[in-house]
Structure 1
Amino acid sequence: MAARYLCSMGSHGERLAMEKNRNSWRSKGNQMSGERYPLDVIIEGDTGITQQWERQQDKEAVATFNARVQDWGSKVNAVLKLSIGELVANDKKLSRSLKQNYRHYGKPIVAGEEVTSIGFGFRPEGIYIHLGVGRGYNMEGGTRVLTKKSNKEWNRNPIPWFNPIIEQAIPELVEIVREYCGTLLVNTTRIFINR
C-alpha cells in the first residue's frame, strides 16, 4: 500500500519525501561504534523513490556500484592516513581513528540497497590540526583569531591534511556515480572541513 502511494505521488512528491527522510537522518548524525561521522559525501539526484526502487531491482548493478564506491572510500582513507603521516608531526591517535562509513539514508546498508552517503570520521583533533586552531586559537567567521591571554605570538599554523586529498578524489567518485546512473549527483557540501 505504501509503495503504491509513493508511486502515485509523482516525482515532485517523491523528492519531497526523500528530502524529509534525508533531513531526519542528517539531524540525528551518522554514528558507528560511538564515533560521529560529520564529514560525508551524499549521492543524490532529482530522481524519486520509484526510480531508486527500479535501479535497485538490478542487484548485480547495485552490488558493483557499492563495491566501486567502497573501493573508492578505502583508497581515499589510505591516502588520508599517508597525508597525516607526512604532515602531522605528533600523530599519536589521529591516523588510527580515521574510518570510513557507508550508509543508505543514514542507516546501515542492507543487501540490494544503494550507497547514498560515504562518511569519514576521525578524532576532533583532526579538525583542529587542519584549521590550525585549538587552545588560544579560534575560528570566528571563517578567520583564525588569537584569543590566548599570554604570549600573543602565533604558534599554530593550519596543516591541510584532509581537504586537498578529498578535492583530488571527488572526480573519480563523480565518474563512478555517472557510470552507474547519469541522473545522480555527488553532493560535497558536507565533506570539506570549514567550507
Structure 2
Amino acid sequence: MTTLQGSAVFSACAQHRHRLDRWWSDEPRALVCAANPSRTDALRPDPTMCRLAALVRHRPGLGGFVLVNVEDRIATDPADLRRWLETADPAAVEVARRDNLARIRALAATAPLRIVAWGTLVPPGPHRDRVIAALSADGRHDLFAFGLTEAGVPVHPLARGPSRVPLGAPLVLWRAADEPS
C-alpha cells in the first residue's frame, strides 16, 4: 500500500486554511467540501482526515482528495466559527468568503468527483447556495455524499449512529447536475 502524502495551504495570518490535500497515487483527486477547517496540516492528521482517507482511498480512479470548507476560517469547534461570523467585520467575512468561493470553483472545474461532507453544520441559506453553485460549476456537475441523514443532509465523515458510513459504501447522489439548489 502506498504511503499517504499531504500538503496544506494556509493564509499568511494562519487563521484560514484554504485547502488540504491527501494523496497516495498520481491518479486524480476528488474534491471534498466540509464545514470548517481544523489546524490539521500537511503532516499532522486529525480524526476527520483519517476517516476521509479511509472513505476515499479504495475508490477506483482516485489517487487522493482535496479538502475545502464552506468557511475557510480555522475553527476546530463549530461554535468558534459561529462566534467569528457573528463578531468579525462583515467586510472581512465577505472578502474571505469571496476568495474561498473562487478557490472552490477553480478546484471543482477540474475535479473528477465532488463530495459534500458538511453534516448538519451548514444551514440552508444564500452562502450555502453559493458554495453549492461553486462546487457544481453552476449545476453542470453532480454532487455526491458519503451518505445522507434522515433529513437528506450529506453526512460528515465522523458521523455516528445510523448516519455512520461503512467503509466501502457507495457514494450517494446528493444533487444531480442542473438540479436547483
TM-score range, shorter chain: under 0.3
**Which structure's residues are more often helix, by fraction?**
1
Q: TM-score, normalised by structure 2?
A: 0.26
Q: Could you state the TM-score of these two structures normalised by the residue count of structure 1? A: 0.25
Tell which has more relative contact order, 1 or 2 (C-alpha 8 A, sep 6+): 1
